[in-house]
Structure 1
Amino acid sequence: MLNLNEFLSIGQNAITRQVVQQEDCTDNYDNDFKSLLATPRLLHWMIDASIHAIDPYLPDEYASIGLSVDFVHTAPTSLGMTVTVHASIVTITEHDVTLDIKAWDEQGIIGHGVHKRAIVMKKSVLDKAAERARLLMIKQANEQIKDMSR
């Protein structure tokens, strides 16, 4: 069993920076706000920062995957502004890592929260996904056979 404390430590962190582009904005959603950073994009950047704080330090056959997000987007950020996201490890258990997340732009804090990621063997996750896809194909084939026999 992998001892995460051999690879990760409390306080370990990563910082990412992004300039808000048009594709990051609320224009892509049905709402009245245009050219503002969309919450899903901010969450995407938060997840990226979390991965950068964990995955480079794990053995090659391991990776982190998201378990939960509790995040509040507290202020608007306009097109062209720079967003900085800081992800810092606050808890390490036997199988997962919890990170404190903060995001800000040139005007101050725009969001904060907690993100939990599980540490998994890459092959195990990929094998499980392939098995689920295989079972879906079998189910769909059986439904087609039923439909043809009616």
Structure 2
Amino acid sequence: MSTPAPGPLHRETMRVEARHTVPAIAPDWPGFADMPPVLATAIMVGFMEQTCITALRPYLQAGQHTVGTRVDMSHVAATPVGMRITAEVELTSVQGRTLTFRVSCHDDAGLIGEGIHNRAIIDVERFLARVASKQGEAAT
């Protein structure tokens, strides 16, 4: 892996659709059903994570991925269906396999969220072996 240097790294844009809204995000959770149809916080956070993942892909070796280990974000403004959102990620720190990002998300009207996101570089085979071991331990 050739780790990227700290600094601005990547930006992605998407249009908010009805399936990204609070009532649509978790139909199994009845508390969300009558909420306003605006961008769900979970979708905003996931979109910022996806932007970090995409930014890192060129730097990873075959068999490596990254997993989220910390999310500390605010969601300060509502975004209606049809509006575009843009996530920007900046790598601020590399400590071994831990990467720290400053992330922000804007819609067409301005800032909607920002914060810090950490990701860890993993070897997928070893990671899945540990998950399988955990499943076996839980079954006993």
TM normalised by structure 1 equals: 0.83
Give the CA deviation at 1:56.
2.7
Match for residue 72 of structure 1? 74
> Is the contact made by 1:46 and 1:87 (CA closer than 8 Å) also made in structure 2?
yes
Aligned length: 134
Match for residue 53 of structure 2? 51
* Larger proportion of strand: 2
What amino acid is aligned across from residue 49 of structure 1 in structure 2? T
Tell whether 2:21 aligns with 1:25. Answer: yes
The two structures, once aligned, show a CA RMSD in angstroms of 1.6
| Residues 56-110 of structure 1: CA deviation (Å, up to 9, x unaligned) | 3111122111110110001110011001001111101112000010100110111
Correspondence 1:1-150 to 2 at 5 A: 6-28=2-24, 30-31=31-32, 32-137=34-139, 139=140
Give the CA deviation at 1:12.
4.8
Give the CA deviation at 1:33.
3.4
| Residues 88-136 of structure 1: CA deviation (Å, up to 9, x unaligned) | 1110111200001010011011110000011111111011011112223
Identical positions, percent = 25
Report SS of the residue matched to 1:126.
helix
Report SS of the residue matched to 1:110.
strand
> Is the contact made by 1:53 and 1:88 (CA closer than 8 Å) also made in structure 2?
no
What amino acid is aligned across from residue 40 of structure 1 in structure 2? A
| Residues 9-45 of structure 1: CA deviation (Å, up to 9, x unaligned) | 1115121111111111012362553221010110110
Q: Greater Rg, structure 1 or structure 2?
A: 1
**Gaps spanning 5+ residues in structure 1: where?**
140-150
Report SS of the residue matched to 2:7.
coil
The alpha-carbon distance between structure 1 residues 74 and 100, as it changes in their structure 2 partners (threshold 3 A), is same
Cα separation, 2, equivalents of 1:125 and 1:59:
15
Comparing 25-34 with 94-103, which one deviates more in the overlay?
A: 25-34
> Is the contact made by 1:53 and 1:89 (CA closer than 8 Å) also made in structure 2?
no
